[in-house]
Amino acid sequence: MAEPAAVDLIRAKRDGGTLSDADIRWLIDAYTRGAVADEQMSAMAMAIFFRGLSAAELRTWTDAMIDTGQRLDLSAVPAPTVDKHSTGGVGDKVSLILAPLVAACGVAVPQLSGRGLGHTGGTLDKLEAIPGWRAGLSGREFVHLLSTVGAVICAAGDDLAPADRKLYALRDVTGTVESIPLIASSIMSKKIAEGTSALVLDVKVGSGAFMREIGAARELAATMVRLGTESGVRTVALLTAMDVPLGRAVGNAVEVDEAVQVLRGGGPGDVVEVTLALAREMLALAGLDPSQTAHDPARALADGRALATYRAMIAGQGGDPDAPLPGAAHSRVVTAPVAGWLRRLDALAVGVAGWRLGAGRARKEDPVSAGAGVICLVKPGERVELGQPLLELRTDEPDRFGKAIDALEGGIEIGPQAPPARPAVLERIA
């Protein structure tokens, strides 16, 4: 049987047609091998952006992406395995706490994470603020640490869904990033290939999130839950709020510091709320009862087990959990222009400010500053006085302050009444 022509598949999808399993598998494989050109796959991505993929097409598309690489074998790990994925937000340091916390409760957490781009931070960038810590592990090291420590956070290897790496870069420069089928297949191809038996998704909703509207977030979550379940991975999603930065620290080293505060039994209430909600879902998917003492994540934070596991996880990847974290050379305070209640602190504005201070990157190859970032001294719902410090900006390059302050324009609102309280966890989708 003759191979299909890429242009015929593009036309079919452009005109609202359905691609066969064989056509999809050929296209993904040929693109990964370089037999289909970037401009052709760009056209296909745009056709999918407008026409979508059916549930059957998406399942095959995701499977085909997985099959371009290897699947990790975690059968040697004695504990049940559960992973978590966040769609990204501002101040989202939950993974740093969650992986060791859930491991301390009896579940192995194999977390393959990424780096930040734009206003959203990357887990690997945060952990690399710790002296000596390394993101790159061999497969043997990965399984060994997972079996002994119970938690690993590292970079995905080059052989894990390599089609996604090519397609992700293409989507980023062709205006097709927001396609729900392409987002879902990108995330789930890597998570399914990772070999975990269960997965909890943290789908952020709000101004600082990839999905700003709850309807789109709900659709993305349901799509990913279906993909995971159909592939034999028990999958649940929580929709969590991202209109306001999570916690008070936004950056790299500053978020590590805040994560350790939570692991010591303190830290901001919203970070604790989201972390515990995700932890309980992960433990339940693993078949453990989070209300029992040995598996209670709140107790593991309080009694030091989670902190001990975190320290072992960091040390196991070459880091020094006792080493001082890098600081920034310069700081500046943003003050309240009037007295009243802080009604809004826009997550996107704060995230962009942190990025402009050096905590984030515009391109994947850009360096990031470990010490740069923003400290939210006040959060919405708190009373402020005229001239009271609201934010502390930190950077190694003082000429960055101006653009960071510009990014905050319109992102802070102070009024005569306190804003209504909003929960951090909005919905559960299973």
Active site positions, annotated: 85, 164, 171, 186, 190
**One-letter identity of residue 161:** A
Burial per residue of 165-190, b for 16 or more beta-carbon CB atoms within 10 angstroms, e otherwise: bbbbebbeebebeebbbbbbbbbbbb
Q: Is residue 367 packed enough to be buried (19+ CB in 10 Å), middle (13-18) or exposed (0-12)? A: exposed
- Residue 73 neighbours by CB under 8 Å, 6+ apart: 195
Of 45, 48, 41, 52, the C-alpha closest to 7 is 41
* Helices 253-263, 269-285: inter-axial angle, 10-degree rounding: 70
